[in-house]
Every structure is written in structure tokens, then in C-alpha cells.
Amino acid sequence: MTKPVPKQALSSASSSTAAKPRLTTSAMIASIASEGQRTQAAPFGTALVELAKTRPDIIGMTADLGKYTDLHLFGQAYPDRYYQMGMAEQLLFGAASGLAAEGFVPFATTYAVFATRRAYDFIHQTIAEEDRNVKIVCALPGLTSGYGPSHQAAEDLALMRAMPNMTVIDPCDACEIGQVVPAMAAHQGPVYMRLLRGQVPLVLDEYHYTFELGKAKVIRGGRDVLFISTGLMTMRALEAAKQLENDKIDVAVLHVPTIKPLDTETILREAQKTGRMVVVAENHTIVGGLGEAVARHLMLNGVAATFRHIGLPDAFLAAGALPTLHDRYGISTQALVDQIKKWQD
């Protein structure tokens, strides 16, 4: 039985109270795309609008950040299915849980720091524990904002993967985000997705990539080094692999978009191939993310590969321009190249 479309409870006019971006700096809205790289605008918002054409149960919800999570496109297309909750993240997720209990599929957006720190208990108690069908989509994951610790969600994967019932996804690029959105909607249960917003790089389409929930995919082969990467670090790993060809270092890249449930079968199969150093690369603190998850499974299964980990330090990070920060903390393409060359010497 099709549920009636809910009426908008709060006026979208409240968005006029949203803080204006500081146009003198690109720290908040900077793209991770390199100069001249192909990009696609707002892949999440575009995919959700398209999906909602045939899914009247889908709702868009945000906490005063529709423009900055690309959900404003959904609001323009479906104003009667768009809920602007104001600067109240706890209310956002509590209301999303209630709507999910009535049979709707809420896509709730905010910044990753606000979901995983400010509203963690509300997500834990009203969504995860109740196994509600809420899709949590969060911008500025890891080190994708230059505004410092208040907006850098360096520990979000550790927090969300520790939550029972929660599926956790970290897409690489615009191509993958477009495929993840319908997969999230088709999955029954709560999902947390890291969101790359605005002008998002296009990378994986060059490799004829297809997203499958819970599956890791080998993007390219290589005999010397195996990158096990997620999110934007798969893009960086692929770029580094191309550069390392000049140094006669053959690099494979295994992309792991689903952090939970983790595709341990594929990870173990690739890590067991002899003669390759295994390097986990993630845009996340080295505590509690993909690196520790992979290391645990390698040890439990007796895989004795040479293991290295590239991630953000266990520290509050500096503020500044993203390219400078990515170099400083070792997650830029050149930083990956330099580190692999040191380890191969």
C-alpha cells in the first residue's frame, strides 16, 4: 500500500537563517578535484531527484544545510517531500526515525561532524537500535574542510562502524555516488554515507566500475604494491599508481567503498598474493578506521604480508587550504608517491 506523501512541516523559508559561506576563503566549499580534472556537479542531489521519480516514499531532510549537501536540488524538485529542520541535528534524526517507522525512506543530510558528534546518541538510540530505514548522508568527511577540528570529521568512520546495524559507505567519486544512492534506498536498514559535494571528480567511470554494496573491487592490478583504499583516497591511489610507473613500481588498487560490512574475502584474497606490500590508505584518523579493520583480519587469518598504513594522525588537525593540509598530513597524491618510494627503497 502506497503511503501518502507527507506535507512539509517546516517552511523552507527558514533556510534564510543559514550562515552564509565566507567567500573570501575556499576552506569550506573547496573541491578536492585537481586542476583540469573532470568533475560532475552535485551527483548526490541529482541521483536522489532521479530516484524519487519512481519512489514516492523517499523524503529529503536536512539541518539547515540543504545547499551545502546538494539536497537543495531535491527540495526544488519535491518541495512537499523536503523537510528543513533548522540547526537542530538531534531533531533531524529523531524525526527521520519517526518517518521511517511510518514506512517512508528519509535521506537526512548534514555535515559529518554534526551527525557523528552532536547527534550520535540520537542516531544510536532512535535509528540504529530500532533498525530504522534512515539514510544518513554527511558532507565534509575526514579532511575535506580547511576549517579545523570543528568541521573536520576525522573520526567519523570509527564512530559509525562501531554502531550495531549501521552500514557504512565511503564513495570515491561522482560516478560511484550516483550508483550508491539507489543501492542505499534498496537496502533495508540504516546507512551512513560520506558525501563528496559540489564539483565532484569523475574517476571510476574510466575503469568501467560498478558499485555493489558490501563488495570491494580491484580497480587495477600490480605486482609490487597493493593499495587497499576507500573514499577519495582511491582516487589518490590511482593517481599515485600512474606516477609510480615512471619508477618501475607496479601498483595495484583495491577499492573498498563499504567499510561495514567489510568484504574480508576479497581483501584477504588480494593481500595473500606474494611479493606485494599492503598499504591501506584512508581519509580518516589511523584510529578505528579501515586500516585497523584490515590489519585485524589479516592477523586473524594468518596473512603475514608487509603492512603499511596511510591516514590522518591521531590529533586535532590544523586549519588552512586543503592542498596544503593534504600535503602536510600525507594524503595528497605526491605524498603517497613519496611514501611508497621510501618504503620500496
Residue 9: exposed, middle, or buried by beta-carbon count in 10 A (0-12, 13-18, 19+)?
A: exposed
Measure the CA–CA gap between 102 and 119, rounded to whole angstroms: 22
Q: Is 184 helix (H, G, I), strand (E, B) or coil?
A: helix
Question: How close are the terminal C-alpha atoms of the chain, in Å?
Answer: 64
Residue 309 phi, psi dihedral angles, 5° rounding: -135, 125
Q: Is 329 helix (H, G, I), strand (E, B) or coil?
A: coil
* Residue at grid coordinates 540543504: 66
For residue 232, what is its C-alpha cell? Answer: 577519495
* Residue at grid coordinates 568512520: 157
Half-sphere exposure of 248 (CA within 13 A, CB side): 1
Say what angle helices 43-52 and 174-186 make with each other, to 10 degrees.
Answer: 40
CA 249 and chain centroid, separation: 29
Q: What is the sign, positive or negative, of the torsion defined by CA atoms of 47, 112, 165, 104? A: negative
89 catalytic residue (yes or no): yes
Active-site option among 89, 155, 176, 282: 89
> Which residues have a catalytic role annotated?
89
